[in-house]
Amino acid sequence: MPLGRITPNRRTLLGSAAALLAAPVLLKGATAEAKAPLLGPQATTFYRFRLGEFEITNILDASVMIDGPWPIVGEDRPAAEVEQLMQANLLPPKRFRPGFTPTLVNTGSQLILFDTGNGEAGFVPPPVGGWLAKALGPAGFTPEQVDVVVLTHAHPDHMGGLLTGGKPAFPNARYVIGEKEYAYWKSGTSDSAPKDSNTYKSGQMFRTYVQPLSESMSFLKSEGEVATGIRAVEAHGHTPGHLAFHIESNGKRLLLWGDCAHHEVASLAKPEWHALFDMDKEQGAATRKRIYDMAATERIAVAAYHTSFPSVGFVERDGTAYRWLPVTYQLEL
């Protein structure tokens, strides 16, 4: 093509390319020292998307590197097998950073919070966790705006944010929990678990954090409805009454699965591996397979509490196993 026919656009492109090439020359003689201070680790604490008429905001409650994923995932397997799976997926073999990600659903008429994070006394307390209450502001909310708080289950990293300084952190909210979950923890059965176990500690915390709120609490059956478009999905095993939730608006759907995965690679690749924090190991494994299969078959977005923030993705079938596909731009269309 003769030069005379180069379009203005191409001329502009050539011009900017020339400017880029010239840049190092212009910088000659300038100091190479960084003047700006180093800012330390960066954490984005909220992620928002539309789901039909609903608006969903995921909020990061904690960020900490811990030992694992073995034995948190694969406690019935040799550590080396889990470490090998991590290395095959370009992840550190012995350290990982779980997500702790409560989800806010604004239905247009109600603001519904799923799980409350670690609070002051959960697995990951301040300063590296228990961020939810403070992270609401930057995400555009106040604690007073929350109408409903739903608990997927009563473990410290999900119920710990119910109270701040001994008072309800969401002063205008009513509460929802699975009927079976509430009955189990209320029964006191967990008091006979070893005192250093997660089950024993959860039972103690339940008495302070959940039971006193029971007057403004409703108890869901396994397929019960939280609000129009939001219903529970039975996901027992991690705890006796653990629930997932199916959220739908205008044909757009989201599966919020609570603790159906503790690691986005290991839990999905090996759903049959036992999970340290599952109270019923076999039921937990069966639930993982069923829930992953549902997500993969129906190709719906998933809000997955313990996967890496923003803890939203999709599930792909991989032979007899599954694979987590973190969200990119799919939900922004």
Identify the sign of the CA torsion 158, 164, 167, 172: negative
| CA–CA dist 301, 293 (Å, integer) | 13
> Per-residue x/- mask for Zn ion, residues 156 to 175, rule CB under 5 A?
-x------------------
Q: Are 269 and 322 in contact (CB under 8 A)?
A: yes
Q: Which is nearer to Zn ion, 136 or 275 (CB)?
A: 275
Least distance to Zn ion, CB of residue 306, Å? 6
Q: Are 300 and 255 in contact (CB under 8 A)?
A: yes
Least distance to Zn ion, CB of residue 100, Å? 7
> Per-residue x/- mask for Zn ion, residues 180 to 219, rule CB under 5 A?
----------------------------------------
| Three-class DSSP category at 183 | helix
Q: Which stretch binds Zn ion (CB under 5 A): 23-31, 144-152, 153-161, 310-318?
A: 153-161
**How many residues lie near Zn ion (CB under 5 A)?**
2
Least distance to Zn ion, CB of residue 217, Å? 20
The residue with tokens 């509430």 is 182
Q: Which is nearer to Zn ion, 106 or 311 (CB)?
A: 311
**Stretch 258-287 residues interacting with Zn ion (CB under 5 A):** 259
Q: Which stretch binds Zn ion (CB under 5 A): 49-57, 83-91, 154-162, 178-186?
A: 154-162
Note whether 115 binds Zn ion by CB under 5 A.
no
Angle between helices 198-209 and 179-187 (to 10 degrees): 100
Q: Which is nearer to Zn ion, 61 or 133 (CB)?
A: 61
Tell me which long-range contacts 137-141 makes (C-beta under 8 A, separation of at least 24): 138/45, 138/46, 139/45, 139/46, 139/48, 139/57, 139/59, 139/104, 140/57, 141/57, 141/104, 141/111
The footprint of Zn ion (CB under 5 A) covers 157, 259
